[in-house]
Amino acid sequence: MIRLVAVDMDGTLLNTQGRISDRNADAIRQLQERGIEVVVCTGRSYEDAAAPVREQGLRCDIICMNGSAVFNKDGRQIQKSPLTYSQMEEILSCCKDDKVIFDFMTNQGSYTIATEEEFKMCFESDILLPASVKHEYEQIRSRFHLTTREDLLSMGLEFYKVSVIHGNPFILEKIRGALKGCHGLAAASSYHTNIEITSRTAQKGIALTEYALERGIGYREMMAIGDSENDYSMLSLQLAYTVAMGNAMESIKKIAKCQTRSNVEDGVAYAIETLILSEEACAC
């Protein structure tokens, strides 16, 4: 019997407008009415993850920033695993020779050390965010604080996740190789123009395992749904069901036990309806 469903957001629960469809929302409500826990597992910050959840009138616990922090239904932080300042220094050192754009996710929002011009150019080139999701520049810019490299580590911030963004895959691959020499870091990707860096203890699979353990839920009582490399750690767990979206990366389709429809075809709802809510599933 499934007692917990973990679901990624971008490319999974959210459509190309960045919203949760009515069908996906209804499937989540049906799970919760049956007493099944639903937890969102996302690379987004808490604020960016909570907005589409609230828009549909849903209440879910949220594992965010790739597992670096966990918030309950009331928005209270219940767990965190930030990067150390020495790790931050190593990340900055690995990228110092390349003109990358950073997204530093902190306890006080997102920061970048790009100039206004560099940041806008990155956005307009469809490098900053997936081109499949439409955003207004002003909306995205309002989420970021611009600062300098010199000031970044003197502001008393807690750093949960660092996204390194660049349009050249060879530059990103070089940086990923350099990061392997850094102690205690995990690197994944949610889009071909980024590398998402967290503490090695802050990955979706680790956070989900701890979340389930605290609630007495075993692997065989869980389902996880995702689409990109930052979902690998949770979809490689020996859960009852691991589900790749129809639009998922090939590496995710290979590791998952099942495949559902794409995020524009309500793939999350289809998986839930087929594997949990259907008469056939209930009879098992």
Long-range contacts of 90-94 (CB under 8 A, 24+ apart): 90/182, 90/183, 90/185, 91/162, 91/164, 91/179, 91/182, 91/185, 91/197, 92/149, 94/175, 94/178, 94/179, 94/182
- For the chain, how many residues are written? 284
Q: Which fold has domain 85-199?
A: 3.30.1240
| Rg value, the chain, Cα | 18
One-letter amino acid identity for 269? A
What residues form DSSP beta bridges with 161? Answer: 105
| Residue 68 structure tokens | 């670096």
> Any idea where the domains of the chain sit in the sequence?
4-81+203-283, 85-199
Please, which residues have CB within 8 angstroms of residue 216's CB and are 6 or more apart in sequence? none
Task: Output the pLDDT for position 282.
Answer: 64
Task: Output the pLDDT for position 184.
Answer: 95
- The whole-model pTM stands at 0.93
Please, which residues have CB within 8 angstroms of residue 29's CB and are 6 or more apart in sequence? 58
Most distant pair of Cα atoms in the chain: their distance: 61
One-letter amino acid identity for 250? E
pLDDT along the chain (284 residues), means of 10: 97 95 98 98 96 97 98 97 97 94 96 96 88 79 94 96 96 95 92 94 96 97 97 97 97 97 98 91 60
Closest CA to 41 of 13, 20, 17, 21: 13
Look-up: residue for tokens 């828009």?
55
Superfamily of domain 4-81+203-283: HAD superfamily/HAD-like (3.40.50.1000)
Strand order in the sheet with 77-80: 77-80, 69-71, 61-64, 37-41, 4-7, 222-226, 241-244, 258-259
CB 105 within 8 A of CB 162: yes
Task: Output the pLDDT for position 65.
Answer: 97
- Beta strands per DSSP E along 84-183: 101-106, 109-112, 144-146, 159-165
Task: Output the pLDDT for position 178.
Answer: 95
Q: What is the DSSP letter of 4?
A: E
Please, which residues have CB within 8 angstroms of residue 118's CB and are 6 or more apart in sequence? 99, 101
Task: Output the pLDDT for position 131.
Answer: 65
